[in-house]
Structure 1
Amino acid sequence: MNAQRVAVVTDSTAYLPPDVQARLGIATIPLNVLWGQEVLKDGVDIDPSAFYQRLRSNKVMPTTSQPSAGEFVDFFRRAAEEKGTDTVVGVFISSGLSGTVASAEMAKGMLSDLRVEVVDSRSTSMGQGFQAIAAAEAAQAGGSLEEVLEAAQQVRYRVQVLFVVDTLEFLHRGGRIGGAQRFLGTALRIKPLLELEGGKIEALEQIRTKKKALARMLEVALERRGDTPIHRAAVIHADALEECLALKEEVRAMLEPGEIYVSEVSPVIGTHTGPGTLGVVYYTW
């Protein structure tokens, strides 16, 4: 088998379904969850189940950080070596949410023997993941660097990320609240419907009860889709699998995506959204 011309990598916040990640050979660099004196690698030292269980009961709240430039240098070298190439495309969490892109860019400047292209996904979770998948599919098909970058870009232009959180407490505490700031101080039963727009979290609506908020989320997705078919969709959850599986069937029936995935919200993102978060990510084609 010929070596790929381009290695495609991402970070742990994409939280790709394991079978998809394995099939496409997408290497992942973990971000960090900082809990007291502990530094935990996202998805390596702590998985979502253990993370959310601890988050619900621990009085000390975690924070997060990006990998260092030095870690990225080692990561890029390994990824290139594994694919037998000198060209790497990294699709990473939005620069509006994390310093990960900045660290990756710094590492790029330290690697004169490799060609590294850093893609700011302007997203996270499967909004980022779908970009990495498209890029990896293009690379696996023998695509050039330009074709791999174009594949990611085409998804970035089209992807939508909508989600409902149980509370704004975690976004506020982590400094990622963005345009949802205006919902602070509303009644406890109000469930905010949020989106990723321009690489940052923005507020859409505040809705009474989670059930109504999820229904409205699907209505918004349907309105935005219009008559254009949805190529891929994902239902994402933070320690809410049962609700997520029910939501998946609603997404399948209402939005009729060509493919549909279920993905957990990684511990790093869960630090800021909190448990109980549910969302839908999709792009048209």
Structure 2
Amino acid sequence: MDERSGRSRIHGGLRVRCDVHGSASQPSAVRLEGQSRGTGRVRIWRRPQERHPRIHRIDRGFDITQRTARRGNSVSIVADSAASLPASVLSDPKLHVVPMTLTINDQEFIDGVDISVADFYALLKQSPGGATTSAPSPAAFVRGFEAAARESDSILCIVVAAHFSATADSARTASEQFLLTHPDCNITIMDSESAAGGEGLIAMGALDQARNGGSLTETLALAKSIKERVRLLAFVDTLYYLWKGGRVPRIAHLGVSLLKLKPTFELRHSNIENLGRPRTVKKAMNKIIDLMAERIDGARIHVSINHAASAENAALLSQRISEEFECVDSYVTEFTPVMGAHIGPGMLGVAFWAE
């Protein structure tokens, strides 16, 4: 058997060298060896009778079989853990959550990964200095983008409101780094201007569009539409943890504690509006229901109910909402520790958007 080597040629940005084994009339195998920026060195053996080449070795980069199998307009969603997404969507291959970091008693934890919600609140009660949080690092976002790019050609990254966190800046830095080695991928970073269930509803709406084959343009358009309509209404059981974190004055914490008030607020477009201070949980729930009715005006709604160690009250609020309104879908989730770090246990909120 003789062996002949062909010339190197450029095919679509990939330099390919073709080596033929066997005779010219009856080649036993053809080897293609190439180098492409961002994908590493690839060798493929193909016998004449085979319809598809076999990958012999890939030194680094994505698996070619995965990349060629993807649809041209496929989209994956990346979100940070502040979105407090329901467990039912966390295993979706088109969704990738990048965890934030929290520090308590000089110990650092990855949000939702190496500390449970129950353990977190137990530590929080024992911590004289409270807890602090930080945005995911650019490296953490790069890992999320790499996982998403294995599934899709485009990525929509939805992050907690930039007004409250450096997460958006970290995601943008990561996207610049990622695109240096993956120039064929499209990434859009979107500031949700919300948090918790508000951010989560935007991410879940985008995820549904991506599942249904929507392009990046279509998925982004839907996410922006939901962003314009989503609202988050909530009340806190105490201002103690907000005071410890330096977010409210001590006098406010003492007044709320003494009078057993439930400060109620609305988050929309990165703006927090104080809506009053009902004196009981029941009255706070009634206020939220009344405010929802005013804002949706009889329309069908998508709902996410979030709570901080207050599952019983969350179930009651969920039942009332299902009785009062026409819900397209409704989720009950617990705030991840990174959200609970600022508000402490007892908070109850509902995010919603009307069709």
* TM-score w.r.t. length of structure 1: 0.91
CA distance 1:199–1:87, shift in 2 (3 Å): same
Classify the secondary structure of the residue corresponding to 2:173: helix
Query: Once the 2 structures are TM-superposed, how far is the Cα of residue 79 of structure 1 from its aligned partner?
Result: 1.7
Unaligned runs of 5+ in 2: 1-68
CA contact (8 A) 1:91 1:121 kept: yes
Unaligned stretches of 5+ residues in structure 1: none
Distance 1:247 1:213, change over 3 A: same
Shift of 1:18: 1.3
Change (3 A) 1:25 1:115: closer
Which has the larger displacement, 91-100 or 15-24? 15-24
Are 1:95 and 2:166 counterparts?
no
Select which of 275, 281, 285 maps to 1:210.
281
Counterpart among 117, 124, 128 of residue 195 in structure 2: 124
Identity score, percent? 33
2:346 to 268, 276, 279: 276
Tell me the residue number matched to 1:53: 122
8 Å contact from structure 1 (residues 76, 88) kept in 2:
yes
- Cα RMSD after superposing both structures: 2.1
How far does residue 31 in structure 1 lie from its aligned partner after superposition? 0.2
Q: Which residue of 2 aligns with 1:110?
A: 177
Kindly state the Cα deviation for residue 17 of structure 1 after the two structures are TM-superposed: 1.1
Q: Distance in 2 between matches of 1:117 and 1:253?
A: 38
Hey, what's the Cα distance between the residues in 1 that align with 2:225 and 2:202?
8
Counterpart position of 1:39 = 108
Could you give the per-residue CA deviations for residues 42-98 of structure 1, whole angstroms, max 9, x where no partner exists?
A: 0001122221232233334110000112222222122212x0x33211111111121
Aligned twin of 1:250: 320
State the shift of 1:24 in Å: 6.1
Change (3 A) 1:224 1:71: same
Determine if the alignment matches structure 1 residue 22 to structure 2 residue 94.
no
Q: Which has the larger radius of gyration?
A: 2
Select which of 208, 212, 220 maps to 1:149: 220
Task: Quote the offset at 1:183 in angstroms.
Answer: 5.2
Q: 2 CA distance for matches of 1:269 and 1:34? A: 12
Aligned residues of 1:97 and 1:176 also touching (Cα < 8 A) = no
Higher relative contact order (CA 8 A, sep 6+): 1
2:153 to 86, 103, 111: 86
The list of structure 1 runs, each at least 4 consecutive aligned residues, that deviate by more than 6 angstroms after superposition, is: none
Deviation for aligned residue 1:173: 3.3
Number of the residue aligned with 2:25: none
Residues paired across the two proteins, number: 280
TM value normalised by structure 2: 0.74
Query: AA paired with 1:30?
Result: P
SS at match of 2:209: helix
Q: How far off is 1:184 after superposition?
A: 5.1
Decide which moves more: 207-216 or 159-168: 207-216
User: 1 or 2, which has the higher helix percentage?
Assistant: 1
Provide, for residues 11-45 of structure 1, a one-character-per-residue CA deviation record: whole Å limited to 9, x for no partner: 11112111123246311000001113221000001
Which of the pair is proportionally richer in strand? 2
Measured in 2, the distance between the counterparts of 1:150 and 1:24 equals 21
The aligned counterpart of 2:27 is: none
Q: Distance in 1 between matches of 2:354 and 2:223?
A: 14
Deviation at 1:241, TM superposition (A): 0.7
Amino acid at match of 2:146: R
